[in-house]
């Protein structure tokens, strides 16, 4: 008779332990399921591209003259400067659109032992009148007819400066594109696209629409292509 309470107590304890293991196993299993569901995600990239027109044109014009006398070399450069200013003036550019950006004087002795001076000067055109700038490039041969010899690298460069104005819309477009890619993945895997877990914005790039031009006297294109790629992590339900 004295063993029965002990047996009952042991059975009760065993039942409690077993019940605890069952409940604990259920909670642990449920937690693993929920953790697994929380880890369901897809990482995709979204792209946004736009064609824009440059709003700034810059043209650095380099030219020089060499003579045995420094004054003669400088006088020749001064004549070229007047010809260049007249060229842009005839095209309708204001006087302040063109300004000196550098001058250099060098001296050397040639094979005959004669000393020679070279005066090299640079003028820079800066304008927002893209159409007029393109016209200047087309007619640059007139500078040669005026006696101006342009040095290598004297090409027009076009720049798009209004990137900040289109950034928000392009990021939104890239994110929308990323969600569309995630939706396609989700449909293929029998899931639904949830919220954004993490997003990384890529760098904005601005390039000539048809590729960069190269070579003497050749300018790039005022037609630009702006591009951005975003990487987005979406949860899957």
pLDDT band at 16; cut points 50, 70, 90? low
Q: Is 80 exceeded by the pLDDT of residue 119?
A: yes
Segment among 90-99, 189-198, 225-234 with least mean pLDDT: 189-198
Task: Please name the helix (run of DSSP H) or strand (run of DSSP E) that holds residue 106, with its range, or none.
Answer: strand 98-109
pLDDT band at 106; cut points 50, 70, 90? very high
CATH homologous superfamily of 40-53+162-236 equals Protein of unknown function (DUF541), domain 1 (3.30.110.170)
pLDDT at 1: 46
pLDDT at 27: 44
pLDDT at 220: 78
User: In the structure encoding, which two tokens stand for residue 137, read together?
Assistant: 């490039």
| Percentage, residues of the chain above pLDDT 90 | 59
| CA pair distance 146, 159, nearest whole angstrom | 29
Average pLDDT, integer, range 88-111: 94
| Cβ–Cβ < 8 Å for 182, 44 | yes
Residues 6+ apart with CB under 8 A from 164: none
Segment among 19-23, 89-93, 101-105 with least mean pLDDT: 19-23
| CA pair distance 121, 77, nearest whole angstrom | 7
| CA pair distance 215, 61, nearest whole angstrom | 15
Handedness of CA 52, 88, 122, 95 (dihedral sign): negative
CATH number given to 58-158: 3.30.70.2970
| CA pair distance 199, 44, nearest whole angstrom | 10
| CA pair distance 109, 93, nearest whole angstrom | 40
Task: Please name the helix (run of DSSP H) or strand (run of DSSP E) that holds residue 54, with its range, or none.
Answer: none
Question: Do 40-53+162-236 and 58-158 have matching folds?
Answer: no
| Cβ–Cβ < 8 Å for 226, 49 | yes
Q: Among all chains, which residue has been given the structure tokens 């004549």?
A: 79
Average pLDDT, integer, range 143-156: 86
pTM attached to this predicted model: 0.73
Write out pLDDT tens, residues 64-96: 999 999 999 999 999 999 999 999 999 999 999
Q: By CB neighbour count within 10 A (0-12 exposed, 13-18 middle, 19+ buried), where does 9 fall?
A: exposed
Average pLDDT, integer, range 17-27: 47
What is the residue extent of each domain of the chain? 1-39, 40-53+162-236, 58-158
Write out pLDDT tens, residues 150-195: 888 778 899 999 999 999 999 999 999 999 999 998 888 888 898 9
């Amino acid at each position: 008779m004295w063993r029965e309470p002990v047996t009952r107590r042991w059975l009760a304890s065993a039942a409690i332990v077993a019940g605890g293991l069952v409940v604990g196993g259920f909670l642990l299993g449920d937690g693993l399921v929920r953790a697994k569901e929380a880890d369901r995600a897809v990482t995709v990239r979204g792209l946004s591209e736009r064609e824009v027109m440059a709003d700034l044109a810059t043209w650095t014009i380099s030219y020089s003259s060499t003579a045995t006398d420094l004054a003669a070399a400088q006088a020749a450069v001064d004549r070229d400067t007047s010809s260049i200013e007249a060229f842009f003036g005839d095209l309708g550019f204001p006087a302040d659109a063109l300004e000196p950006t550098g001058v250099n004087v060098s001296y050397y002795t040639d094979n005959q032992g004669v000393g020679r001076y070279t005066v090299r000067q640079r003028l820079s055109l800066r304008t927002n009148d893209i159409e007029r700038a393109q016209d200047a490039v087309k007619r640059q041969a007139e500078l040669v007819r005026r006696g101006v010899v342009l040095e290598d690298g004297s090409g027009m460069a076009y720049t798009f400066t209004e990137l900040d104005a289109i950034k928000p819309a392009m990021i939104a477009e890239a994110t929308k594109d990323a969600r569309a890619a995630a939706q396609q993945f989700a449909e293929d895997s029998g899931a639904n696209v949830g919220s954004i877990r993490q997003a990384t914005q890529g760098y904005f790039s601005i390039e000539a629409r048809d590729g960069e031009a190269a070579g003497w006297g050749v300018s790039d294109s005022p037609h630009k292509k702006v591009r951005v790629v975003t990487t987005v992590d979406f949860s899957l339900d």
